[in-house]
């Protein structure tokens, strides 16, 4: 009697249950897994995957071409547009920033008070000449009417002996009274905040018709020979705004 024939699994792995002992339920599975090729003897070195699942089929090119194109992502999940981090380049230059404009300070009004020989105290308001031709000035003061603080203007005078008085606020009297000691010159300067906002200029008229000036702030307005001072003119004007 011939030995029982081994099942296809027994022939593959070298053991197992004889084919006659396999249950009838295994028969459809054997045919489905291996087909007739499995029932035959397994050639030496045959690939196991081909034995179990049959030879691999090449992909159908026509079937691949018929695949639908991938759909576009849903708008709800579409990436949001990222705004550029820098300024948008339009090709046009940005307008320049507005230029800094400094407002002009207010004009300055002065009242010039003189003590005139043979006349007494005389006051003149405005930027004209103050004094009387032929009459010597013995003392003066400069009183601010408007535009700067009274302490922001100072003056000093040259006495008849050539000595100089100290700088004093303009509204304080400089000189003498009733001593017949005429002035030989004077000087004016600004102080405090007015130094940064205003400019002072002044002139003097002297006996014999000589005029000196306009003088810059602090300069002595006098003639080389020390002539007697007869009239003065003092102007305080705002500095010109930047860019003018």
Q: What is the pLDDT of residues 1-21, one digit of tens each?
A: 555 555 555 555 555 445 444
Mean pLDDT within 81-103: 55
Which segments within 147-240 are labelled E, that is strand? Answer: 153-158, 168-169, 174-175, 185-190, 198-206, 211-215, 221-222, 229-238
pLDDT band at 127 (very low <50, low <70, confident <90, very high): confident
pLDDT at 66: 54
Query: Could you tell me which residue, 218 or 56, shows the higher pLDDT?
Result: 218
CB under 8 Å to 213, separation ≥6 — which residues?
Answer: 201, 202, 203, 204, 221, 233
Radius of gyration of the chain (CA): 59
pLDDT at 182: 96
Instruction: Provide the 8-state DSSP code for 1.
Output: -
Element (H, E) at 39: helix 35-39
Please give the order of strands across the beta sheet that includes 221-222.
Answer: 168-169, 153-158, 185-190, 221-222
pLDDT band at 29 (very low <50, low <70, confident <90, very high): very low
CB under 8 Å to 193, separation ≥6 — which residues?
Answer: 148, 149, 152
Please give the order of strands across the beta sheet that includes 198-206.
Answer: 130-131, 229-238, 198-206, 211-215
Nearest alpha-carbon partner for 217 in 185, 188, 174: 188
Nearest alpha-carbon partner for 183 in 207, 167, 201: 207
- Evaluate if residue 190 carries a pLDDT over 80: yes
- Cα distances from 190 to residues 108, 193, 216, 217, 233, in angstroms, run 12, 9, 11, 7, 15
Collapsing DSSP to helix, strand or coil, 50 comes out as: helix
- Evaluate if residue 202 carries a pLDDT over 90: yes
Rounded distance, CA 103 to CA 8, Å?
110
Rounded distance, CA 173 to CA 205, Å?
20
Cis-peptide, bond into residue 59, ω within 30° of zero: no
- Evaluate if residue 178 carries a pLDDT over 80: yes
- Evaluate if residue 174 carries a pLDDT over 70: yes
pLDDT at 116: 95
Instruction: Determine what percent of the chain is predicted with pLDDT higher than 90.
Output: 44
Q: What are phi and psi of 20, to 5 degrees?
A: -65, -25
Rounded distance, CA 234 to CA 188, Å?
8
Across the chain, mean pLDDT equals: 75
Mean pLDDT within 76-80: 45
Mean pLDDT within 192-221: 94
Q: HSE-up of 183 (CA within 13 Å, CB side)?
A: 32
């Amino acid at each position: 009697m011939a030995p029982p024939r081994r099942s296809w699994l027994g022939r593959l792995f070298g053991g197992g249950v004889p084919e006659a002992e396999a249950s009838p339920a295994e028969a459809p599975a054997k045919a489905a897994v291996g087909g007739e090729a499995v029932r035959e003897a397994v050639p030496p070195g045959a690939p196991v995957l081909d034995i179990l699942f049959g030879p691999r089929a090449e992909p159908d090119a026509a079937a691949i071409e018929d695949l639908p194109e991938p759909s576009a992502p849903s708008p709800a999940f579409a990436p949001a547009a990222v705004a550029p981090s820098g300024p948008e380049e339009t090709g046009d230059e940005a307008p320049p920033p507005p230029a800094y404009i400094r407002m002009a300070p207010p004009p300055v009004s002065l009242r010039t008070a003189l003590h005139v020989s043979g006349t007494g105290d005389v006051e003149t308001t405005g930027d004209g000449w103050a004094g009387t031709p032929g009459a010597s000035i013995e003392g003066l003061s400069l009183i601010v009417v408007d535009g700067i603080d009274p302490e922001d203007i100072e003056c000093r005078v040259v006495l008849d002996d050539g000595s100089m008085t100290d700088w004093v606020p303009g509204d304080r009297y400089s000189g003498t009274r009733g001593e017949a000691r005429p002035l030989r010159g004077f000087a004016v300067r600004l102080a405090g905040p007015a130094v940064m906002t205003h400019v002072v200029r002044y002139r003097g008229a002297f006996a014999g018709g000589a005029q000196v000036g306009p003088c810059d702030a602090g300069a002595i307005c006098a003639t080389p020979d020390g002539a007697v001072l007869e009239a003065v003119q003092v102007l305080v004007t705002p500095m010109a705004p930047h860019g003018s």
